[in-house]
Amino acid sequence: MRILFLTSRMPSPPVGGDRFRVYHLLRTAAEAGHRVDLVTFDDGRSDRSALEPLRRFTSSYEIVHQPKLVSWWNAARALPTQLPLQAAYYRSEEMSRRVARAFDRNRPDVVYTHLFRMAPYALAEQGRRDARWILDLTDVISGGIERSLPYRRAPQQWLYREEGRRIARYEALVAPRFDDCWVISEAEARALGALAPRASILVVSNGFEPERNIVAPSRRAASLLFFGNHDVLHNRDAARFLVTEILPLVRKSIPEATLDIAGKGAEGLGSWVRRPGVRVLGFVPDLDRELRRASLFVAPHRFAAGVQNKVLQALSAGTPVVTTPVVHQGLAPAPDDILGVGEDASAIAAQVVVLLRDPQEAERMGERGRVWACARFNWRGSLAAFEGRPTAAAPADEGARAETPAAARIAVAGAVV
């Protein structure tokens, strides 16, 4: 097949959830023998080395460089309208021309549009082109914004509440206009089904890098790890919650317990991170090494959307995980015995203490998580979804069925292989 990718961020390097997903979807399709073409935005900050994977995996790629000042001006001009500011931010006449040219030159069989912010470029071509149209929302962004509101400062709350309302309306409007709408988890499928009951919804999970070589762990005693992109609010909030509320409770029971915080932007966290037992690693090129060293990976997110890739990476490495119900929900249907779950600081700390005191049980839980995650999350399901091969009906209990409008078609692409 000829697959045209339309993305708002250059997918290489695959750092961050959005780039990670698109990079591996693109790579998987190309390695299966399909022709892949890409039209993408870039803000001009990407390193030239990021182009090498694009040369390797695509037959052609076009990059539209749009200065941030222009994008912010576009968003500001949209304030009096009902258009989501994110969609306005990515308005570009040059992108429209490049997309039209890519259609004329490549005549794609499948058009993959990543996130609703790129939907206008696909919709502009739909009436003139014969193709299968895929919109990968990944998460229902409006729901994620709503969950984040209690954790935002008062000046931001109005703007994000208004943006969330606009996005919800836009998601409901555009989702049914595509042949398939992809989301990353069953929880997101139910949320989109409630918002856009006429949409054809497919759960397409993330997978892991094929080149990963997991070796035996050499765990340090009472060592906790958290990593993520700290430029993102839900990760900053989780890090602060862990440092200021959870870790002190853990250290009351296990004074020698330590915490390493890794990931982009970690160096810019506030003075609150400078606590006894806390070490800021910053960006770490080899996260698997840190996962092999840690006793536990703790992901105490109080709000989030979709599936947390960091948790999948920890599970697939066999590192025991303690997290929150909101993260656990994104993994559903997941066995109860593959990770520890706590609702608040005291419950999370209690789970951590139990596992630190019983490293053998922690290791057994980590192995159960590894086996489950490696079977459940892989990129073969995305290939089946691209190729339109039959998919298994999404497992759901009666309550979930009642929540999902009957008009929405929900399936899981290659969930278990």
Measure CA 76 to chain center. 27
Instruction: Return the closest-CA partner of residue 205 out of 34, 28, 404.
Output: 28
Q: Are 34 and 1 in contact (CB under 8 A)?
A: yes
Q: What is the pLDDT of residues 349-370, one digit of tens each?
A: 999 999 999 999 999 999 999 9
Rounded to the nearest 10 degrees, how much is the dihedral formed by the CA atoms of 85, 89, 92, 98? Answer: -110
pLDDT at 413: 43
Helices (H), 266-344: 287-293, 309-316, 325-330
pLDDT at 199: 97
Domain 223-376 superfamily per CATH: Glycogen Phosphorylase B; (3.40.50.2000)
pLDDT of 393 above 60: no
223-376: same fold as 2-203?
A: yes
Residue where the block lists tokens 């935002």: 152
Instruction: Return the closest-CA partner of residue 191 out of 326, 342, 377.
Output: 326
Rg of the chain's alpha carbons, rounded to an integer? 21
Domain 2-203 superfamily per CATH: Glycogen Phosphorylase B; (3.40.50.2000)
Locate the domains of the chain by residue range. 2-203, 223-376
Peptide bond into 13 cis (omega under 30): yes
pLDDT of 211 above 70: no
Half-sphere exposure of 262 (CA within 13 A, CB side): 18
pLDDT at 47: 74
Q: What is the pLDDT of residues 94-107, one digit of tens each?
A: 999 999 999 999 99
Structure tokens of 413? Answer: 């692409």
Residues in the chain: 417
In percent, the amount of the chain with pLDDT more than 90 equals 70
Instruction: Count other Cβ atoms within 10 Å, centred on residue 252.
Output: 11
- Section 282-293 average pLDDT: 88
In percent, the amount of the chain with pLDDT more than 70 equals 91
Q: What is the pLDDT of residues 258-287, one digit of tens each?
A: 999 998 888 889 899 999 999 999 988 888
Query: Of all residues in the chain, what percent are helix, strand and coil, respectively (each to 5)?
Result: 50, 15, 35
- Section 173-196 average pLDDT: 95
